[in-house]
Amino acid sequence: MSEESRKIFRTKIKGSVEAIWRELTKTDSPQQAVFNGLLVNTGFHAGAAVQMRTADASRTLVVGEVVEYDPPRRYAHTFRFTRFDDAPCVVIYDLVPQADGLVEVTLTVDNMPLGTETAKQMTWGGDFILANLKSIVETGKPPFGTRIMYAIFGALGFVLPKRTLAANWPLQDRNAA
């Protein structure tokens, strides 16, 4: 795999593996680390459908399916923005407790479709997600600038393309009949 189609982002977080895992996999409230998206899924098993929706669940921003789920160590899923016709990539979160009490969190994006909007967004988004995750786990909230950005996202959700409407993206496991 070429380096261009794989991006690796890392940070160390002062917090428990469980707190970090919860923030990355919670489905009962928006994930403030991940663009304030609401994770909607059919479960956490290989082939389960996953979506990231707007906080009000009216728009589907990302679709994919679970590739690997090994709590609280690794979570991997395919990832495709609904706004673009780009090929999907794979997002992998790895959590490794360190001897110093910190947790190393690695976010890997594999098979990025080079030269696409997805690649641009994912290259910028990796550091953003990890910085937010670190702030949330260590302080209980995302940075102030992120909170302002999320408020703007909420107010301007109506400008998203109609193709992102949640009704256009039924949630169904790949193996469902």
Q: What is the pLDDT along the chain (177 residues), one digit of tens a residue?
A: 455 799 999 999 999 999 999 999 999 999 999 999 999 999 999 999 999 999 999 999 999 999 999 999 999 999 999 999 999 999 999 999 999 999 999 999 999 999 999 999 999 999 999 999 999 999 999 999 999 999 998 898 889 999 999 999 999 887 664
CB 77 within 8 A of CB 63: no
What is the DSSP code (8-state) at residue 31?
B
For residue 139, count CB atoms less than 10 angstroms from its CB and return exposed for 0-12, middle for 13-18, buried for 19 or more. exposed
Q: Where are the domains of the chain?
A: 3-168
pTM over 0.85: yes
Write the class of the CATH domain 3-168.
Answer: alpha beta
